[in-house]
Structure 1
Amino acid sequence: MTAQQPSPSHTLRSQRLNALTHEPHSRLDNQVKNHDPFASTERFARFVAAQYLFQYDLEKLYADKDLAALVPGLEKRCRVEQTRLDLADLGHPVPEGDESIRTRKMDVSEALAWLFVSEGSKLGAAFLLKRMPALGLSESFGARHLGEPEGGRAQGWKTFVAALDDIVLSTEQERLAEAAASAAFERFTVHLERCFA
């Protein structure tokens, strides 16, 4: 894999993934609203539990040395520990994750697509953080996982997207990436429904 020089007419991979996941993303947003996680700290704790399960799924990807060579500061981007601490603050048990994603053999294209979904959620976290004072929470208590990443949200996203867009993938790998991005949104939806059941 080497860097590619995108032509002016070339649609960037990040833009394609963003467009392709618009529907599952909107569906997930609606489900979050339906569960009203900001109505109380108890409901928010359930939302954090879902976040924990998703970050648990991705923990090994964030620690992967091959992926770290492609994405600057990858290991520091993982939020599984912040969600664990948030759950402790909220007095909510840490749910037991399963190993189905952690042990799945993924192509680099699939792994990057899962990370794309996780990293993209940090942009929306800025808006969620503004709702935390009403619950008595902050990025240092109960809502750490929503906190500002080192270097800032915008710069962190820009750096990730630049790495994602620069990698040369085959046509089959592009297809795998597209399917994986949708699967990541579906996986979070499963976690959300489990935690609010």
Structure 2
Amino acid sequence: MTFTTDTEAQSHTTTASLAQRLKAETAGEHERMHRLMAKADVFASKERYSRFTLAQYYFQQDVEYLFQHPELAALIPDIEVRGRAQVALQDLHDLGIKPEGHELKSLDAVHPEGLGWIYVSEGSTLGAAFLFKEAQNSLGLSAGFGARNLAAYPEGRARVWKRFVQALDAADFNGSQQDAVIQGALNAFGHFGQMLEQLEQLR
């Protein structure tokens, strides 16, 4: 067993890029999301998928609320092409669901913490490639009906994600600022995970 000294840990924090730290320090939450998704079995029926889409819609509302912050908008030059609340709402209409609304959970995610929430949202677009195929194969949904929120950006998932990662690292945050972004990402994962655990209660 090896131990890391405080000095070594601080050195890692200052030498690793923000994107690298986010990937490493949220890995446990990524795995937890996989387990929660498997347990939720969201493609077992259109009803279960509808609840999942409702969670997607509410989470995207949380994320898009942050787009209005000028500091965050300045960091992400193409922020206007991001966010999937509107397409998720269209999917809900296709599925016969009318959201009753929810209390925004990102209200206190000030700059730069809000960037962590956006990181979780943007990262989910990569994993959504698998989910999109499941929606097609299991439920007969498509990018034009019911599964818009899982479809790729017009430019493709990888290209848009790469631009976002470049924007993360170009921010050139110091260690404490990076810590705040990571905490924001952990908070976002925690919120979405809670919704996955309570899908039946979402309205």
TM-score, scaled to structure 2 = 0.86
- 2:161 is equivalent to residue 187 of structure 1: no
Please list the CA deviations of residues 63-105 of structure 1 after superposition, one character each: whole Å capped at 9, or x if unmatched: 433322221210221100011111110112214120342x325
| Distance across 2 between alignment mates of 1:99 and 1:116 | 17
Structure 2: give runs of 5+ residues left out of the alignment.
1-13
Would you say the 8 A contact 1:85–1:142 is kept in 2?
yes
Greater Rg, structure 1 or structure 2?
2
- Higher normalized helix content (fraction of residues): 2
Alignment of 1:53-68 (within 5 A): 53-68=58-73
Alignment of 1:87-166 (within 5 A): 87-101=92-106, 103-104=107-108, 106-108=110-112, 110-133=113-136, 134-166=138-170
Matched position secondary structure for 1:131? helix
| Distance across 2 between alignment mates of 1:34 and 1:79 | 24
TM-score, scaled to structure 1 = 0.89
**Which one-letter code corresponds to 1:96 in the other structure?**
G
Matched position secondary structure for 2:173? coil
| Distance across 1 between alignment mates of 2:64 and 2:37 | 23
Matched position secondary structure for 2:75? coil
Instruction: Return the match for 2:84 from 57, 79, 82.
Output: 79
Please list the CA deviations of residues 132-161 of structure 1 after superposition, one character each: whole Å capped at 9, or x if unmatched: 223020011000011110311000000000
Runs of 4+ in 1 over 6 A off after TM superposition: none
Size of the alignment, in residue pairs? 187
Report the RMSD for the aligned CA atoms in angstroms.
Answer: 1.6
| Distance across 1 between alignment mates of 2:191 and 2:104 | 13
Instruction: Return the match for 2:35 from 13, 27, 30.
Output: 30
Would you say the 8 A contact 1:62–1:77 is kept in 2?
no
**Which one-letter code corresponds to 2:76 in the other structure?**
V
Would you say the 8 A contact 1:49–1:95 is kept in 2?
no
The CA deviation at 1:59 is: 1.5
| Distance across 2 between alignment mates of 1:182 and 1:100 | 13
